[in-house]
Amino acid sequence: MRLSSKTTTLLALAALIALAPLFFPSSYYFRVGSLIFVNGLAVTGLVVLTGYAGQISLGHAGFVGIGAYACALAPVHLGLNPIAAAVVGAALSGGIAWLVGRPILRLKGYYLAVASLGFGALVSMVLANEAQVTGGPDGMTVPDPGLRALLKSAGLDLSNSAFWYAFSGIVLVIGAWLALNLYHSPTGRALRALHGSEVAARTVGVDVAGFKLRAFVISAFYASLSGSLLALQNKFITPDVAGYMHSIELVTMTVLGGAGSVLGAICGAMILTTLPQVLTVFQEYEQVMLGLVMMLVMIFMRDGLLPSLSRKIRGRGK
């Protein structure tokens, strides 16, 4: 039986996540791994928004911030379990995305980029300034959801970092599965159609504004859950997660890895999460090298790292 490209992608991703720990020399690598998965989740949402629907957002860290602070605030104020708080955060992010998306998705290209940047700035300002509620720039602690204790009582005793590695890895695979389902579905086709030609999409009956909004809301869910995962595993959160630098990092990961491909964008998340650690050998030139790598990839591999490489390999196979 021939496997579909969707199944192959998911199997490759799951195998990578499951087997990588065999080569981890220390628990520090679990930490880096789960950070990759957290970023990979937000980036998968951006694949839906940017890669499928062709819309840009420079404010998605705003939703990451909402998801992260939901896990810190809802347990204190509403007495919710932090996992339930993540769901509430995602619902809130989706609702806000729906409200914000309606006016700003009418804009195109760099107008949309600036408007979404403004949204992200707004969220991070609120989180930094409402110190009585959010702790301000000093941040907040996030309670433990008790999942690891639950596993332990069931007989599976994982270290803290190994547990969060596994948990975020599973969430990422589910997130990738949903995004890949969407790609080949009627909704995904409508999104890719309006990306290709808005006027033609309209004439075949696609409600362009409605579908852009759907992509925006879906990507906000992903960003919000990414923020929640980050908050839960760090057990501490500062307004920096919602900052514009984080928004731009997420977009850079998406585009560098390949916005049109879920696996590519996750590779982008992996590279940009680990590269700064690898490049520390260049010491004070670290940032320079990072910038250089990004420029070179974009100049020579415009479709992103993974799609460009796989095309080259396939081209040679012929």
Partner 1 sequence: MSLLQIEGLGIDFGGLRAVHDVSFSLGAGEIVSVIGPNGAGKTTLFNMISGVYRPEHGRVRLAGEDVTGIEPHLLARRGLSRTFQNLQIFQAMTVLENAIAGHHLHEKGPVLADLLSLPSSRRRAAEAEASARMLLDRVGLGRAEAQEAGSLSYGALKRLEIARALALKPRVLLLDEPAAGCNAVETEEIDRLIAEVAAEGVAILLVEHDMKMVMRISNHIVVLDHGEKIAEGAPAKVSRDPRVIEAYLGPQVRETADAHG
d(CA 87, CA 67): 8
Distance CA 7, CA 59 (A): 32
Crossing angle of helices 262-278 and 28-46, in 10° steps, is 140
Contact 88, 74 (CB under 8 A): yes
Query: By CB under 8 A, is residue 102 in contact with partner 1?
Result: no
Among 160, 187, 252, 310, binds partner 1 (CB under 8 A): 187
213 binds partner 1 (CB under 8 A): no
**Between residues 188 and 227, which has the closer beta carbon with respect to partner 1?**
188
Nearer of residues 78 and 91 to partner 1, judged by Cβ: 91
* Contact flag: residue 182 with partner 1 (CB under 8 A): yes
Kindly state whether residue 172 participates in binding partner 1, applying the rule CB under 8 A: no
* φ/ψ (deg, to 5) at 107: -80, 160
Q: Residue 133, interface with partner 1 (CB under 8 A)?
A: no
Residue 176: closest CA among 186, 168, 165: 168
CA angle 174, 178, 183 (to 5 degrees): 145
Tokens encoding 157: 């005793």
Q: How far is the CB of 279 from partner 1 (least distance, A)?
A: 34
160 vs 129: CA distance, rounded Å? 32
Could you say which of 76, 83, 170, 208 contacts partner 1 (CB under 8 A)? Answer: 208
> Which two three-digit tokens encode residue 60?
């998605």
Q: Which is nearer to partner 1, 202 or 235 (CB)?
A: 202
- Establish if 288 lies at the interface with partner 1 (CB under 8 A): no
Contacting residue, 25, 79, 205, 315, with partner 1 by CB under 8 A: 205
Q: Of the candidates 150, 152, 207, 278, which one interacts with partner 1 according to CB under 8 A?
A: 207
Smallest gap from Cβ 193 to partner 1, in A, equals 5
Choosing from 214, 262, 266, 268, the residue that interacts with partner 1 (CB under 8 A) is: 214
Tokens of 110: 């760099």
Nearer to partner 1, 195 or 246 (CB): 195
What are the φ/ψ torsions at residue 105 (nearest 5 degrees)? -75, -5
What is the total count of residues that contact partner 1 (CB under 8 A)?
Answer: 28
* Smallest separation, CB 176 to partner 1 (Å): 12
User: CB burial class (10 A; 0-12, 13-18, 19+) of residue 139?
Assistant: buried
CA distances to 29, 126, 272 from 269, rounded to whole Å, are 15, 27, 5
Q: Is position 95 an interface residue for partner 1 (rule: CB under 8 A)?
A: no
The three-state secondary structure class of 141 is strand
Q: Which residues partner with 236 through β-bridges? A: 141
26, 153, 203, 283: which one contacts partner 1 (CB under 8 A)? 203
Given 200, 278, 295, 296, the residue binding partner 1 (CB under 8 A): 200
* Site residues (vs partner 1, CB under 8 A): 178, 181-182, 184-190, 192-193, 195-197, 199-208, 214, 218, 260
